[in-house]
Amino acid sequence: MDAKEGKESDIVISSRIRLARNLQDISFPYFMNAEKAQQSMQEISEAWRQSDNGLLSSLKLLSFNEISAWDRQILVEKHLISPEHGVAEDANRGLLVSEDGSIAIMINEEDHLRIQVVLPGLQLEKCHELAQIVDDELEKRLDFAFNEQRGYLTSCPTNVGTGMRASVMLHLPGIAISGQRSRIFQNIHQLGMAVRGLYGEGTEIIGNYVQLSNQITLGQSENEIITNLGIITRQMVEQEKILRKSLQQDMRYQLEDRVGRAYGILTHARVINSNEALTLLSDVRLGMDLGIIQGISPYLINQLVVAIKPAHLQKRSGGEMEAFMRDVKRAEVIKEILFKSKQSEVELGKEE
């Protein structure tokens, strides 16, 4: 995924469309026996192999009995599969994924198929367009479970209907620092949207990264879901911009101090845990967006947010690590990646 592009990319980190689909004559994955799970895997992989559509045929199939637990966890940390999907070393579970990770299809997770498209910035319509191409191509060879009254049938009742979840990942430090988060998020809930942390349902908000998504798929068309989420996202973006500007005007020195301290800790710490690192990276990203700190690209920060996760750190080190040694390695990796930006001459805000 090219993280350098996309509308409103200073606030909207990414857009995602996910379609849940199930095969007509096979039980949902939670109720499948080994024989049915194998049948599902075979039918889906065969539909992929037979496709002459360039978008679908370019995907690579990863069977979970052929990749290590580390590599499965890395897929989780890259948001390509769910934590639950990556647990089992199962020949009947897998992933179809594009080289850049923008298209991923989980096989035999909560549903038989979960088609996901992720693009940088605010690009919900483009995500939907690509997901629809993949969906239509698979439906030529697979008989999806569909009911005329209810729509696409899914394992979770809240996904019945379009089977679609639309979401955006937002970076909202202005809303957090100004103390507006609870009020704004409560209003969003009342509009039928869900607000979650970096890894979706059940995860806390760390580093001011927030996932915003639709909650209900029944009774709304795909276009209505996307339009509604787009409207609310743009409102959030405008609110964040206003609050950032206000903070810069009213708390200039405190903000510059906060950013400078964050950059100083990240570039000099010997030990740092994941939550602290994400919080400090959020401050540096805010400083970047406001021109307080220069010479670091948003792509570098996005790269770091993933690179400091446990499985990535252990893969880089070539062995399993205890929590403390991961914190040591995390500090090393942050310095290594941030100091790459020295070629761009990082500068903190200057006195006027």
How do residues 40-83 score in pLDDT, each as one tens digit?
999 999 999 999 888 999 999 999 999 998 899 999 999 999 98
pLDDT reported for residue 112: 98
**How many whole angstroms from its chain centre is CA 9?**
14
Instruction: Indicate the DSSP class of residue 197.
Output: B
Q: Map residue 10 onto helix, strand or coil.
A: coil
Q: Which of 309, 304, 310, 314 is nearest to 334 (CA)?
A: 304
| pLDDT average, residue stretch 187-206 | 80
> ∠52-55-56 over CA atoms, to 5°?
65
325: tokens are 């040694």
What is the Cα–Cα distance from 60 to 63, expressed in whole angstroms?
10
Please answer whether residues 212 and 236 qualify as being in contact, where contact means their C-beta atoms are separated by less than 8 angstroms: yes
- What percent of the chain has pLDDT above 90? 74
What is the Cα–Cα distance from 11 to 168, expressed in whole angstroms?
10
pLDDT reported for residue 87: 83
Q: What is the DSSP string of 69-99?
A: HHHHHHHHHTTSS-TTTTS---TT-EEEE-T
pLDDT reported for residue 199: 65
How do residues 201-250 score in pLDDT, each as one tens digit?
656 788 899 999 988 777 789 999 999 999 999 999 999 999 999 999 99
pTM across the whole model? 0.90
Alpha-helical regions (H) of 89-160: 124-139
Beta bridge partners of 165: 18
Interaxial angle between packed helices 274-289 and 323-338, expressed in degrees from 0 to 180 and rounded to the nearest 10: 20
pLDDT reported for residue 285: 95
Please answer whether residues 241 and 175 qualify as being in contact, where contact means their C-beta atoms are separated by less than 8 angstroms: no
Tell me what the pLDDT averaged over the chain comes to. Answer: 91
> ∠13-15-16 over CA atoms, to 5°?
135
Instruction: Indicate the DSSP class of residue 140.
Output: T
Q: Which of 30, 55, 32, 52 is nearest to 42 (CA)?
A: 32
